[in-house]
Structure 1
């Protein structure tokens, strides 16, 4: 087996050696947790929560004219799908296209 001889087989619970403590006894004792912040600190959180709720209630912006143009093009058969253009745009969007 290569590597650290204190590690058992991968996926196994068995250990072939003793465990080591990482922290020494001279390490500083743990400090008590900080006191809770005043209620004023939660104001930004409350505001963000209200903003998120109001945005969730709104419908997404839609370009009605563009949707109407696409619907009519699909209906009359003039809408063309170009896989190479779509693939190129996807690669550019995800950073995989040539720059």
Structure 2
């Protein structure tokens, strides 16, 4: 029997025969599983609540700054300084000479 014949129609693994008990399983003392942590302590639950809280908040926008930039662009007073932009990009990403 090839390994491919054990894969079920939806990608799950199908057991080819009955499960076998290993001798060490019967000799080991049975232990009770630890109780599951509360839902509030799970990282996924915390992240879900945090994402819902953030989604309900409006994006942080400085409306006055946007209005000033729109006015400057419309009036032709907004200047682009490529050297300053390039310097800021290098500072942000590192100068590469490390």
Per the shorter chain, which TM-score range?
A: 0.5 to 0.7
Q: Higher relative contact order at CA 8 Å, sep ≥6: structure 1 or structure 2? A: 1
Corresponding residue of 2:95: 96
Q: Gaps (5+ residues) in structure 1?
A: 1-34
Q: Which residue of 2 aligns with 1:38?
A: 36
Query: Map of 1:1-99 to 2, 5 A cutoff?
Result: 35=33, 38-40=36-38, 42-44=39-41, 45=43, 46-96=45-95
**1:36 positional shift:** 6.6
The secondary structure found in structure 2 opposite 1:54 is helix
Note the C-alpha offset of 1:52: 1.1
User: Which ranges of 4 or more aligned residues in structure 1 deviate by more than 2 Å?
Assistant: 56-59
Gapped runs of 5+ residues in structure 2?
1-32
Cα root mean square deviation, aligned: 2.2
SS at match of 1:48: helix
**CA 49–64 in structure 1, closer or farther in 2 if over 3 Å, else same:** same
